[in-house]
Amino acid sequence: MLARVLFAPDAPLSDKLLGVAILVVFAGCFFLVGWVILKLLRFSKKVAGGVGTDATVTSMGPKREGSDQHHVVFTFTTYTGFGVWLVQSTQRYELPYDVANDVLKKLLRHNCTWGLLGPGLVFVPFLSVAEYSRRRKEIDRQRQGFEPIMKSDR
Write out pLDDT tens, residues 124-141.
889 999 999 999 999 998
Tell me, yes or no, whether 55 and 91 share the same domain. yes
Residue numbers of the domain that contains 26:
2-46
Give the per-residue pLDDT at 37: 75
Tell me, yes or no, whether 29 and 62 share the same domain. no
Give the per-residue pLDDT at 76: 93
How many CB atoms neighbour CB 19 within 10 A?
A: 18
Tell me, yes or no, whether 59 and 36 share the same domain. no
Tell me, yes or no, whether 28 and 86 share the same domain. no
Tell me, yes or no, whether 35 and 79 share the same domain. no
Tell me, yes or no, whether 12 and 70 share the same domain. no
Q: How far apart are the C-alpha atoms of 87 and 121, rounded to whole Å?
A: 13
Domain total of the chain: 2
Q: How far apart are the C-alpha atoms of 154 and 141, rounded to whole Å?
A: 21
Tell me, yes or no, whether 117 and 131 share the same domain. yes
Task: Tell me if residue 103 falls in helix, strand or coil.
Answer: helix
Give the per-residue pLDDT at 60: 44
- 154 within some domain: no
Tell me, yes or no, whether 129 and 56 share the same domain. yes
Tell me, yes or no, whether 35 and 73 share the same domain. no
Q: What is the chain's alpha carbon radius of gyration, rounded to the nearest angstrom?
A: 24
Confidence band of 81 (pLDDT split at 50, 70, 90): confident
Number of H helices, E strands in the chain: 6, 2
Give the per-residue pLDDT at 150: 55
